[in-house]
Structure 1
Amino acid sequence: MSLGMLVVVPLGLTLLPTRTTSTHWWFAFAVPGALSLWLPRGAVSIALASIYCVGTLVLIALAARHFLQHKKLGVRQVALYTALATPSIAALALVAERSSYELFGFNLTVLSLTVAHFHFAGFAAALMAYLSADGLAAVSVPLGTVIVLLGFFLGDPVELAGAVVLTIGMWLVGWRLWKRSRRAERSTANAVGFGLCGVLALRREGFDEAG
């Protein structure tokens, strides 16, 4: 969970088109959140988790600003806004878990797992979908994340369906990344080939002139 707060989210923020050129501000919220995980449940850990919760609300504000600037809601934008919104769900679960409060009837273990889930299967997965995919690949990741969230309330079959959709989405994203890397490799190989042909042609011209 600390890895998600201190590494995954700030790295992801540097890749987002929300004019977040610096992530220093994020650590002012993430460090207290990470510290709350290592302290006993109680007033101090609740306060630290609450600070982190405020930081995740800033991400929602960034999503709102991006939407108001572009006024566009395509499938890639859905993935982007999902990435920016899901840490707040993790933060809410964290505050409840540190408070020893079984939010919506979920026990503390489930709440603790929810914190990790919405940093990785939420933020990181949706971010990958936004950056690397479109169409079905881009929309299936946030859709799967939302279905998993609904499954927490509607039962295990719904949660399982969400996990399946999310898994399919990540496979599609991986396929898109693989195809992109193959195209890049072919482009590099072609560039190297043309370069070698040019060098050989110049050398041959030199030999001809010398002869």
Structure 2
Amino acid sequence: MSELSPVAADAVRVVVGLGTVVVLPLGLRLLGDRAVPRSASLIWPLVGLLAALSVWLPVGPVAVALAVPFAAASVVLAACVLRVRLLSTAVALATPLVGALALVAERAGWGLLGFSGDYLALTVPHMLFAGFGACLVVGLLAHLAVTPLTRAAATAAPVGVLLVLAGYFVSDAAELVGAVVLTVGLWCAALAAVRLPGTGRALLRVGALTVGASMLLALWWAVGEATGLAHPSLSWMAATHGVANALGFVLCTVLGLRLRGPVPEPTGLTYTEVGATQGAPLPAGYRHLRVRHLLSPGSRPDDLAVVGDALLRWQVHAAAGIELRHDADEAAPGVRVASRVGVGPVRLHEPCEVVWVERTADRIGFGYGTVAGHVFRGEESFTVERDAAGDLWFVVTAYSFPDLWWVRAVGPLTVVVQRAYLRLLARGARRVLAADGRAVGSAA
């Protein structure tokens, strides 16, 4: 830390310790086990304490050895980004790894991607507070209250963090753009926080006032770096903006949110338009899907019952080779079922609840809706139907919307995967029909 003044260097060390020992473990507790396995484990503050100790030691092997466990724990956090719904929470879980790598490199006296010394040292608290802390806060606020302010914060803050990070490699002007976007996101979060009623309001207000002022300093510094205008030094920024963000904004806001208790997680259906796949118009605001696969042209009278009964007893899924867990042997309203799609560790657990079952002379099937933990929000129905010509069809109707940030990011690819999954199910229905001695028809 040769370019930082002794006071600023010590401030950075204290802030790093605050981030690794207090803020990160406390934030993981707020996120809960759905986001990070064993989120309340003592492992997190323990590895954080080792990292905090490392920054007070001379550069060398001992300091590196103390920093490495924190880096390993950060890898685990980064692997959890696919488990969370919001981009802001994903960025919160990913950025400690950036800080941890910078910490290991700085403690070893190495350069990393063209950076060394003070820039690596300052990257650690930056990723712990502007990265993890700030994005954690906006993500939690978005869970507590879905408003235009929280939606704007949950988008602008993580995008701003990523733009600032990219600006390190692109230009000071790009970093300025990132600082502006991040500031907008954090100010939106501050306005949303002060409007929350109940316990912890005083701490939330302190955090809001602090970030309002501290981000002005960040903008001043970014403008100066990009234009050459007079602006504070790194030492001055570390001792003012850095300490204020760490203590006044992130710590106070996280503590305020902690006093409000755990963020409630939904346990029931994650959408409101229940039952529309049974025949009602599909609701707006979702992606609609209607697929028909021909099972048998000119079916026999009992074919509908054979395949329909198998469908209701989960045997069509089994014949398709799809792992399905259910709490009843036959579909009925209220029954919980979860499909597990994928291979090995790359496997999605998609829980649903049956919302309707139908059994008529020409149609047998059920519809289920998504519950907490599913990568989508919406409803899907599976029916076996006989048309006026006597042909037997496997019909799927769905309306859904991606509920995880990375599912939204891959966009149209999800439709391709979904249609492939439904073709697999139709193949399972044909296998059921063929096992009953009926010739299998073609797909349509």
TM-score band w.r.t. shorter chain: 0.7 to 0.9
Distance 1:12 1:161, change over 3 A: same
Matches within 5 A, 1:1-211: 1-19=16-34, 20-64=38-82, 66-67=83-84, 73=85, 77-133=86-142, 134-181=150-197
Residue 21 of structure 1 deviates from its aligned partner by 4.9
Cα distance in 1 between the residues matched to 2:33 and 2:187: 27
* Preserved CA contact (<8 Å) 2:166 2:175: yes
* Preserved CA contact (<8 Å) 1:91 1:115: yes
* Preserved CA contact (<8 Å) 2:156 2:184: yes
What amino acid is aligned across from residue 7 of structure 1 in structure 2? Answer: V
Per the alignment, in what secondary structure is the counterpart of residue 22 of structure 1? Answer: coil
Moved over 6 A (4+): none
Residue 178 of structure 1 deviates from its aligned partner by 2.0
What amino acid is aligned across from residue 147 of structure 1 in structure 2? Answer: L
Cα distance in 2 between the residues matched to 1:15 and 1:148: 26
What amino acid is aligned across from residue 106 of structure 1 in structure 2? Answer: F
What amino acid is aligned across from residue 25 of structure 2 in structure 1? Answer: P
Alignment match, 1:197: none
Residue 18 of structure 1 deviates from its aligned partner by 3.0
Cα distance in 2 between the residues matched to 1:157 and 1:26: 36
More helix by share: 1
Residue 102 of structure 1 deviates from its aligned partner by 1.6
Q: Over alpha carbons, which structure has the higher Rg? A: 2
What amino acid is aligned across from residue 136 of structure 2 in structure 1? Answer: L
What amino acid is aligned across from residue 173 of structure 2 in structure 1? Answer: P
TM-score, normalised to structure 1, is 0.78
What amino acid is aligned across from residue 126 of structure 1 in structure 2? Answer: C
* Preserved CA contact (<8 Å) 1:13 1:23: no
Residue 29 of structure 1 deviates from its aligned partner by 1.5
Alignment match, 2:398: none
What amino acid is aligned across from residue 9 of structure 1 in structure 2? Answer: L
Cα distance in 2 between the residues matched to 1:143 and 1:181: 28
Cα distance in 2 between the residues matched to 1:180 and 1:111: 37
Distance 1:21 1:59, change over 3 A: closer
Per the alignment, in what secondary structure is the counterpart of residue 41 of structure 1? Answer: coil
What amino acid is aligned across from residue 10 of structure 1 in structure 2? Answer: P
5+ residue gaps, structure 2, are 1-15, 143-149, 202-444
1:76-114 deviation line (CA, Å, top 9, x unaligned): x10111111110100000011011112111131010000
Cα distance in 2 between the residues matched to 1:119 and 1:6: 11
Counting matched residue pairs gives 175
Cα distance in 1 between the residues matched to 2:75 and 2:91: 13
Greater relative CO (CA pairs within 8 A, separation 6+): 1
More strand by share: 2
Per the alignment, in what secondary structure is the counterpart of residue 136 of structure 1? Answer: helix
What amino acid is aligned across from residue 6 of structure 1 in structure 2? Answer: V
* Preserved CA contact (<8 Å) 1:60 1:84: yes
